[in-house]
Amino acid sequence: MKPILTSILFLFCLTTTNAQQPSKLDSLKKVLAHLPAEGRSFAGDTLRIRVLCEMGEEEGNPKKSHEYLSAAKTIAEKQNDKKGQLLALEKFSQLYEYQPARVIEYNMKGLAIAENLKDYPKVIKFTNQIRNKYFALGDNENTMKFAKYNFAVNKEHGNLETQLISMNNIGIVYFQMKKYDMALNYFFNIHRLNSHLKSMKVENAYLINSAKIYVIQKQNKKALINLQEALEIKDGYKDKISFIANEIALIYLSENNLNEAIKFAQISEKANNGLSDSYKIGTYETFTKIYKKIKGREKYIQYLEKFTSLSLKEDSIKSSKLTDFINLDYVAEKQLMKINDLNINLKENEFKNKLLIGGILTSIGVLITILFFNRIIKKKSQEISIQNQRIEELNKSLEFKVKERTSELSEANKELIKKNFEISEALFKGQTIERKRVAAELHDNLGSTLSALKWRLGALDSDNLNKKERVIYESIKLMMNNAYDDVRNLSHNLLPTEFESKGLIGALQKLINDINENKKIRFKFNSKGNTASIDKKIGLEIYSICLELITNILKHSEANSAYLSIIKLQDKIEIEIYDNGKGIMENSKHGKGIESIIERSNTIGLQFSIENYNEKGTKIYLSSN
């Protein structure tokens, strides 16, 4: 097959370099003519599908385009070439651009194939186009359905920019539904999440879409700030400049600031060069409104004529396209009906001829044969009827057994979930009891022992000791005090009473207040969101992590101020702690304390990161996925 394909590609190169420079469609027709016959090889048919799809895209006649794409789709289906089917369906979608229902039909077929192939880029593309067309039809329910589907696939298989654009599309649907607060919430979220990505496309979407809501809410000042900021973003898109400048002009027009309205309408008009008529129509309409207010009759008439002329032209083009497609559907349907009629007539004629020949040869034999087979058919029909009855009874029995088994499995699953929850609760309860026991042991036994040792040590007469012995005595006494304080803190922090009574935030606030009494370091603490909803087991782990981090700051940072923040928004937890101490050394390895924190974080689904803060100090950030 390689020599054949090589000759085809060579021929294609010759046609493109010919002195007469034929059109791409003519070149494709020549390539198609030199392909091996259909069905000869899979590779040849694969290339035939691609060429036919290209011809369908290049052909200016909708009827012929339809024929090329239908041929490509038929071959792809025969060969079970899923990628070829996807390509044909994509081209069909482009062909029927002005018929949203047809675009949805072809994209839904493509979506089913793409899902089967797990071709997620295609799934994203098809769901986005389906959403667009439902939006054009004003079907908010289906628009939202596919916008959310598109976001879910993007979240799993796309990049951050495509995820944010999907979120933006959901916000647009809420805008269409006049749920402006919901829409604004989505636009704010993409702006916040884009702070790391810094995508110009996402930032433009946020600025423009939020501005449209501000206009509706009569907050023109906010709208103007956002639109002017979007206008200053240099991304090379002239259509953006045209659209935004026109929107700004309309805002100034609504405020009767006609000089500024004219200024921005002129910017929009200047950016319209090389753009489609739809942008020019919007600008000309704005000019007519401005000059109507100014009562500038000559300019008003001039722009009204431009606006009317382009509007009629645009409607005419759309109407013409739609008429072409309607005629194409009509012609295709008529041809299909003719083919069906011809097939029916052909079958009828064949049947009549056979009957005529059979009657001439042996009419009696045919009659006997018919009677004989009639009896067999009746007998077989009865047998089939009995079999169908048995199958139906068996199906009913199977359905009942399946339902019964499904119910049993469902109950068993519920019981397992319940048991798992009980085990988890018992484990946590056991851990809590063990923490209390260990804390009590430390406080009552080891604490008492250390206290007794301090008392016995204090009974020694230090005045009789020489200088060296006195230094050793004071050192032991200091070490005993530190050990006693450590045991007391450890026993308290294993399970602080404030955690039991006031929860995570209360326990942390008490801990911070105790530290601040020392006045060697000033801690600030902030919590935000629904922190009360944090699971008690997770809360205890978070307390232990925060305790370890605070201890590290007190022991090693040499800082005089620090900050701790816990935020719980929806299902996401964010913990941030930083200080103004000496920071972390480059290429330094994590100590056991940090390794312990990372391990604890992983067990409750928190991602850990550490970095220097403001050239001095340390910043640690933990967040759930």
Among 290-294, 316-320, 425-429, 527-531, the minimum mean pLDDT is found in 316-320
Specify whether the CB–CB gap between 622 and 568 falls below 8 A: no
For 260-297, the pLDDT digits (tens) are: 989 998 888 888 887 877 778 888 888 888 888 887 78
- As a whole-number percent, the residues of the chain with pLDDT over 70 amount to 75
Q: At 612, list the tokens.
A: 């220097």
Q: What are the residues whose beta carbons fall under 8 Å from the beta carbon of 47, sequence distance 6 or more?
A: 5, 8, 35
Facing residues of 523 across strands? 562
Residue written as token pair 């949203």: 100
Q: What is this structure's pTM?
A: 0.48
For 489-518, the pLDDT digits (tens) are: 565 556 566 777 788 888 889 888 888 887
> What residue ranges do the domains of the chain occupy?
499-624
The highest-level CATH class for domain 499-624 is: alpha beta
Specify whether the CB–CB gap between 62 and 325 falls below 8 A: yes
pLDDT at 423 (0 to 100): 55
pLDDT at 20 (0 to 100): 43
pLDDT at 433 (0 to 100): 58
Instruction: Please tell me the chain's helix, strand, coil percentages from 3-state DSSP, rounded to the nearest 5.
Output: 80, 5, 15
Nearest to 171 by CA among 158, 188, 157: 188
Cα gap 414→385, rounded to integer Å: 43
Cα gap 14→106, rounded to integer Å: 36
Return the axis-axis angle of helices 220-232 and 238-254, rounded to nearest 10°: 160
For 530-582, the pLDDT digits (tens) are: 888 888 888 888 888 898 888 888 888 888 899 999 998 888 999 999 998 88
For 345-402, the pLDDT digits (tens) are: 444 555 555 666 665 665 676 677 777 767 787 777 777 778 777 777 777 777 777 7
Specify whether the CB–CB gap between 293 and 253 falls below 8 A: yes
Specify whether the CB–CB gap between 146 and 130 falls below 8 A: yes
For 203-235, the pLDDT digits (tens) are: 988 999 999 999 999 999 999 999 998 888 877
Q: At 245, list the tokens.
A: 């400048």
Q: What would the DSSP string read from start to end of 325-393?
A: HHHHHHHHHHHHHHHHHHHHHHHHHHHHHHHHHHHHHHHHHHHHHHHHHHHHHHHHHHHHHHHHHHHHH
**β-bridge pairing 618-624 and 606-612:** antiparallel
